[in-house]
Amino acid sequence: MSQPTAGSSEMGHPGFRHLPYRPYVPGVGPEEGSRRFLEVMRQRRSVRFFSDRPVSEETIRNLIAAAGTSPSGANKQPWRFVAIRDAEVKRQIRVAAEEEEREFYARRATPEWLADLAPLGTDPSKPFLENAPWVIAVFKLMRTDADERGEQAQVYYVNESVGIATGILIAGIHQAGLVTLTHTPSPMGFLSTVLERAAHERPFLLLPVGYPAEWATVPDISRKELGQILEIR
Ligand code: IYR
């Protein structure tokens, strides 16, 4: 490819600095690199049963920092991660989540929804919110954090941005040899109260993180065939 001409749109908006991109070179070609990644990701499962074996704060910091590399609308990085190890806070979250979940399973869920969940074996009981050594609460920012003058600005594509960051986080948890599951108690307003969040922070989902219990099982489910999810044109 030829170099873009100075001042062209390919160089970015004039006055905004661009730097040379330093490519990531995995040392194997893209076929091998993608095959290895697929092999790793195929082994990821949502696990609901955790060991009490501790996970270091350093691990959590690395994982959240990795999630923070996510692309986001206009690079606004509209996310906040609250990593909870305090047993009492985890207990409060469990109690509140189970209250909502009892309502969900008894009344809010449609019969079709309950039938769809049956193979997963989920129910209103959420012991993993207390058993996992860490619970990461992911929040989306509906406005930016205040700047020095106390002003907040607009954010863009918040669900996409936080969803992508969460995907990277889940992949990182797996890469670290740990397990998680996405728990989305609905409604999640209690998380704002329990975790004392500011008004512009809205709960997105919960990720308990830890080692799997030795006796952990997972539902016998399968992924779609590639032909069902990919169309090449
Ligand atoms: N939030 C409930 C229900 C639930 C919903 C879906 I969609 C799942 O894939 C799993 C569970 C719960 O966490 O139990």
Q: Is any ligand 1 atom within 6 A of the Cβ of residue 128?
A: no
What is the sign of the dihedral through the CA atoms of 21, 26, 31 and 33? negative
For residues 29-43, give the mean pLDDT.
Answer: 98
Q: Answer yes or no: is pLDDT of 165 > 90.
A: yes
The pLDDT of residue 145? 97
Range name among 13-17, 66-70, 225-229 with the lowest pLDDT average: 13-17
pLDDT tier, 16 (very low <50, low <70, confident <90, very high otherwise)? very high
Q: Whose CA is nearest to atom 13 of ligand 1?
A: 183
Q: Whose CA is nearest to atom 11 of ligand 1?
A: 122
For residues 135-162, give the mean pLDDT.
Answer: 98
Distance 3 CA to ligand 1 centre (A): 50
Distance 82 CA to ligand 1 centre (A): 21
Model pLDDT for residues 175-200, shown as the tens digit of each residue: 999 999 999 988 999 999 999 999 99
Q: Answer yes or no: is pLDDT of 91 > 80.
A: yes
For residue 86, which of 97, 94, 77, 78 has the smallest C-alpha distance? 94
Ligand 1 atom at minimum distance from 183 CA: 13
Mean pLDDT estimate for the chain = 95
Region of 182 on the Ramachandran plot (φ > 0 left; ψ -120 to 50 alpha; else beta): beta
Q: Whose CA is nearest to atom 9 of ligand 1?
A: 117
For residues 154-178, give the mean pLDDT.
Answer: 98
Q: Is any ligand 1 atom within 6 A of the Cβ of residue 117?
A: yes
pLDDT tier, 8 (very low <50, low <70, confident <90, very high otherwise)? low
Percent of the chain whose predicted confidence (pLDDT) is above 90: 92
Q: Is any ligand 1 atom within 6 A of the Cβ of residue 101?
A: yes
Q: Answer yes or no: is pLDDT of 72 > 60.
A: yes
Do you know the residue count of the chain?
233
The pLDDT of residue 13? 72
The pLDDT of residue 40? 98
Count CA within 13 A, CB hemisphere, residue 43: 13
Q: What is the pTM of this model?
A: 0.94
CB 138 within 8 A of CB 206: yes
